[in-house]
Amino acid sequence: MPDKEIISLENAQAAAERFLEDRLKGLRRLAVDRVKLTSIERIVVYDVEGTALVSNGWFFRSIRLPFKVQVAAADGAVVGYDMNGEVKAGS
């Protein structure tokens, strides 16, 4: 797929986790279910998918929030994300 060197799967997952930790208030835990290398037009990205457990503030109850974060394989920048069915551009 890519001709240039890319970041590792572990680095892509770590970038996605840092991004979510910065975005989600009340984050209790992240569970990454899948990381796969793919491309969007000419940009090679890692799709990092999983579930975030987020406190809703009521008696220590939490909600599960599915997520997908797209991390550029060239430099580890977040290029897009999807939480709760709402697709957004990266930071």
Q: Which residue has the higher pLDDT, 14 or 40?
A: 14
Is there a contact between 18 and 80 (Cβ–Cβ < 8 Å)?
no
In this predicted model, what pLDDT tens digit does every residue of 11-27 receive, in sequence order? 999 999 999 999 998 88
Centre a 10 Å sphere on the Cβ of residue 48 and count the other Cβ atoms it contains: 27
What the chain holds in terms of domains, given with CATH numbers, is 9-86 (3.10.450)
Judged against a pLDDT cut of 90, whether residue 83 lies above it is answered with no
Taking phi over 0 as left and psi of -120 to 50 as alpha, with beta for the rest, 59 belongs to left
In this prediction, residues 75-82 reach a mean pLDDT of: 95
